[in-house]
Amino acid sequence: MDTEKKAERVGCPSIAVLGTRGFPGVQGGVEKHCENLYPRLVSLGCRVRVYARNGYVPSRNYSCNGVEIVPIRAPKMKSLEAICHSLLGVFHIACNREKFDVVHIHALGPSLVAPLVRLCGLKVVVTNHGPDYNRRKWGALARAALRMGERLGTKYANGVIAVSKTIKKDLQTRYGRRVNYIPNGIDISEPVPPGAYLEKLGLKPRRYFLAVARFVPEKGLHDLLTVFRQIDTDWRLALVGGADHEDGYSVGLKKMAAADARVVMTGVIKGGALGEVYSSAGCFVLPSYHEGLPIVLLEALGYGLRVLCSSIPPNMEIVADEEALFPPGDVNRLKERMTNAIKNDAEGREYFTLDKGRSGEFDWDSIADRTLTDVLARI
């Protein structure tokens, strides 16, 4: 059945989406969130059009698991890309406003346009993925714009979603309005046996640390590389990811990695290759200074990996085991944790695993159902 007719039949909203680069397979937490959420909303009866960004996805309109993807132009500059894309998206939506019931905006920068969407006579839902103004890559002007985006999005949206309990509490305290906690999700993944890709990288099963992240300062990969160079081990370190916008930090990070022959940089990978690298890792490490609710940490747990992560509140919503935590930026404690991980692996000791009683909290089907019934259908 045509998705538009299906949406009319069951009374589900037609949704326009702003704030994501697009999908499938585009690097980023917001992108993974959208890639998992919207096909499920389509299956529930919604009609969804995602306004993606040229340069990250094919340049022509296409469909992904029932979701309509419409790429539009945006300058590929980290300080202007999100807001320019969002403004162009509002223009497109305004020209087709009779097709939509609600606009769903992700992240703080794009939330700057929430009042404009309301002026178009459409309802708005904003999902807050974290206080982006705390990211170390932003200057004073960008931080101020992001704070304004949070303020305008929270004030003018008909419904507000926070992906972590920490964000929900903060928004409710500062803005005095109801916020829905609907987290990022997890797929309990079947392990992928070690194969040709792992062999190509020179990685041996259970004999390497794994980090999956964008190459930006707040992910703390520089701390991880600094510590790994100090550890005398035959384990290796696999870094999966890259930079959306190449800069001094990402270039310096690559130079640090190149100085240690045990470090393997895969670039951005997805699908079976990513599953293979996850499945055979000895330990997953997330040394970040800032997160919303990290999907990569949930993914690692979905593959049954041992994890080490910084003790920031969003990470601690998922991981509570002291032996798996270290203060952000504390390279001495991180070295201790990584050394213990190697030792514990040799002794067969287990680290933290996700409480099975919480698995439903992070189930994508449940998340889609809650997004529809608790927010989209109520505004």
pLDDT in tens, 93-125: 999 999 999 999 999 999 999 999 999 999 999
What is the span of the domain harbouring residue 121? 3-185+363-376
CATH number at residue 101: 3.40.50.2000
Residue 253 lies in a domain: yes
Please state the length of the chain.
Answer: 379
Domain membership flag for residue 191: no
pLDDT at 346: 64
Sign of CA dihedral 296, 241, 109, 100: negative
Whether the predicted pLDDT of 283 surpasses 70: yes
Check whether residue 117 and residue 256 sit in a common domain. no
pLDDT of residue 2: 45
Considering the domain architecture, whether residues 86 and 128 belong to the same structural domain is answered as: yes
Instruction: Based on the fold, state whether residues 167 and 232 are members of the same structural domain.
Output: no
Q: What band does 135 get if pLDDT is binned at 50, 70 and 90?
A: confident
Same domain, 21 and 143: yes
Residues 223 and 169 grouped into a single domain: no
Say yes or no: 135 and 239 in one domain.
no
**Residue 180, in any domain of the structure:** yes
Does 190 map to a domain? no
CB 80 within 8 A of CB 117: no
Same domain, 240 and 368: no
Give me the mean pLDDT over the 264-282 stretch: 93
Residue 311 has pLDDT above 60, yes or no: yes
pLDDT at 195: 93
Kindly state whether residue 166 falls inside one of the protein's structural domains.
yes
> Helix, strand or coil for residue 48?
strand
Q: Does residue 332 surpass a pLDDT of 80?
A: yes
Same domain, 207 and 234: yes
Per-residue pLDDT band for 285 (boundaries 50, 70, 90) equals very high
Q: Indicate whether 9 pLDDT > 70.
A: no
- Provide mean pLDDT across the span 238-248: 90
Q: Are residues 20 and 147 in the same domain?
A: yes
pLDDT bucket at 199, cuts 50 / 70 / 90: very high
What's the confidence (pLDDT) of residue 136?
75
Do 214 and 352 belong together in one domain?
A: yes
The larger pLDDT score, comparing residue 93 to residue 359, is at 93
- Own/partner long-range contacts of 165-173 (Cβ < 8 Å, ≥24 apart): 165/317, 166/313, 166/314, 166/317, 167/128, 167/130, 167/131, 167/292, 167/293, 167/314, 170/131, 171/128
Answer whether residue 353 shows pLDDT above 70. no
How many domains in the chain? 2
11 and 62 share a domain?
A: yes
Partnered with residue 186 across adjacent β-strands are 363
What pLDDT is attached to residue 356? 54
Mean pLDDT for all residues in the chain: 91
Lowest mean pLDDT: which of 4-13, 103-112, 312-321? 4-13
Q: Is residue 146 part of a domain?
A: yes
132 and 21 co-located in one domain: yes
